[in-house]
Structure 1
Amino acid sequence: MTYENLAGRTAVVTGAASGIGAAIAASLAASGARVALLARRTSRLAEVAEKIQANGGKALTVTTDITSSSSVDAAVTAVHEAFGRVGLVVNNAGVTIPQAITSAPFSDWQQMIDVNVTGVLRVLRAFTPDLTASGHADLVSISSIGAHEFFPDYAVYGATKAAVTYLSKSLRAELGPPGVRVTNIEPGLVESELRAGITGEAGEMLDNWISQAGILAAEELGDLVAYVTSRPAHINSREWLYAF
């Protein structure tokens, strides 16, 4: 679907090279937003941008590592030069590494924290001046049902997503007065590369869950983000728990 009120807005989507991020970017572009695609994989970003442009949308690819401050700073400069001030940011990039708490390498925990928490904060800090200067802007965080529910081997991942959920809740008080609408989305299982990379017992658990509860398409998340960010400024959809 396409939505009014997005035409002409400049959006930034992290983790836009595939899955949920690519679907969000496509949905925003279909409604007329100029979309900056941020991710590490340059070739995959180009593929997403080509699809958006083939459908009449406007997309900019910006190879970005959100665990690097200099990379994010360079992305801000590139977006400003191409599209101007940003009025919509979707913090979507994330990583899932399910492992038992007793045997997981600390490096895996650090990677999830670096991307899912510190990376989110880095992008937030970089684009907040744009958002607060816009009069009406949107900040969307893609958290997870794991912020509330608990599953074997997902303790650290769930903790990182709980941090994202709390951050969104707190930012409403801080960023709401300058006109930034903060929305937190907590999906259940979604078709993405993250799911494909989970194997072994953790993969079997997910397969059993999917067989009973189903799985969301990435496009459904993309449509939801376009919907909530296209609402009039006085309509604040603060939080969505989005499961099949």
Structure 2
Amino acid sequence: MSIYGYESLTGRTAVVTGAASGMGEATARRLAAHGVRVALLARRAERLDALAGKIAADGGQALAVTADVTDAASVRAAAERVRDAYGPADLVVNSAGVMLPNPVDAGRTDEWARMIDTNLGGALHVIDAFRADLLAAAAEGRPADLVNVSSIGAHVVFPNYAVYGATKAALTQLSASLRTEFGPRGVRVSNVEPGLTDTELGSHIDNAELSQALDGMFQAFGQALTADDIADLIAYTTSRPRHVNLRQLVVLPTVQA
């Protein structure tokens, strides 16, 4: 096995949340292309079915599992479906997330709750549902990976993104803390913080002024990251020898300071 290739991914079982679009979809496709059995978790069943069909057509294995990460019971049921089909997971990617910027004094408590429940609570539900699988894989001497997709907004301040940034800062801190619990037991915990990335997250914004400002950033930078860039990084990270943990990865477009 080459430590510089992706051969170590072949035969593994991954769970990818937020797989209906963006980074989650791209990550699922990339992992499947390297021989990983991939369970696709998201709420949009039609998109998951379409993605599973594309992966199968390309020679990969994928299981579409409709689940709402904000609902612990839904995630537990999804975990049972994954185990019934593929057995225990040894690679979990928390990619589900929402970005709903607005000034705090707008009082959008509905948005606050949605971001907290998805970006942080959802990640915790997934971790809880699959932690035993990861720990068991590590105990057997196999690679075991938990990858949390955070954001550069975890530690770089952007006006009007206070609650979004707070949820991502919490996810980054959670990742660091989990390394102290899971690392000594052989489970790698990696935290990925992308900068400006072209996904559908921007379409969630219902504030016209902030939506235009985000569009202006894309125009100013010229070339943002793509979902495939993040997927490639996740595949690289999880294909390293099991004693190597790329724990904190900040990835930006070259032109973003």
Above 0.5 in TM-score? yes
> Could you report, residue by residue, the CA deviation over 1:88-139 in whole angstroms, capped at 9, with x for unpaired residues?
0001100111111101321110110000111110110110000001023000
- Is contact 1:15–1:92 with CA below 8 Å preserved after alignment? yes
What's 1:7 paired with?
A: 10
1:242 partnered with 2:242 = no
What's 2:219 paired with?
A: 211
- Is contact 1:93–1:116 with CA below 8 Å preserved after alignment? yes
Supply the AA of the counterpart residue of 1:171. L
- Does the residue aligned with 1:235 lie in a helix, a strand or coil? coil
Distance 1:113 1:196 in 2: 18
- Is contact 1:6–1:32 with CA below 8 Å preserved after alignment? yes
- How do 1:52-131 residues align onto structure 2 when only pairs under 5 Å count? 52-131=55-134
What's 1:192 paired with?
A: 199
- How do 1:221-236 residues align onto structure 2 when only pairs under 5 Å count? 221-236=230-245
Distance 1:87 1:153 in 2: 37
- Does the residue aligned with 2:38 lie in a helix, a strand or coil? strand
- Is contact 1:133–1:178 with CA below 8 Å preserved after alignment? no
Distance 2:198 2:54 in 1: 19
What's 2:53 paired with?
A: 50
- Does the residue aligned with 2:105 lie in a helix, a strand or coil? coil
- Is contact 2:91–2:145 with CA below 8 Å preserved after alignment? yes
TM-score, scaled to structure 2? 0.92
What's 2:175 paired with?
A: 168
For this pair of structures, how many residues does the alignment match? 243
TM-score, scaled to structure 1? 0.97
Which consecutive residues of structure 1, in runs of 5 or more, have no partner in the other structure? none
Distance 1:56 1:220 in 2: 22
Which consecutive residues of structure 2, in runs of 5 or more, have no partner in the other structure? none
> Could you report, residue by residue, the CA deviation over 1:52-87 in whole angstroms, capped at 9, with x for unpaired residues?
111111000000001111111110110000000110
- Is contact 1:18–1:48 with CA below 8 Å preserved after alignment? no
Distance 1:111 1:45 in 2: 22
Runs of 4+ in structure 1 deviating by more than 3 angstroms, as ranges, are none
> Could you report, residue by residue, the CA deviation over 1:190-222 in whole angstroms, capped at 9, with x for unpaired residues?
121112333511122212222232311111111
Distance 2:175 2:193 in 1: 11
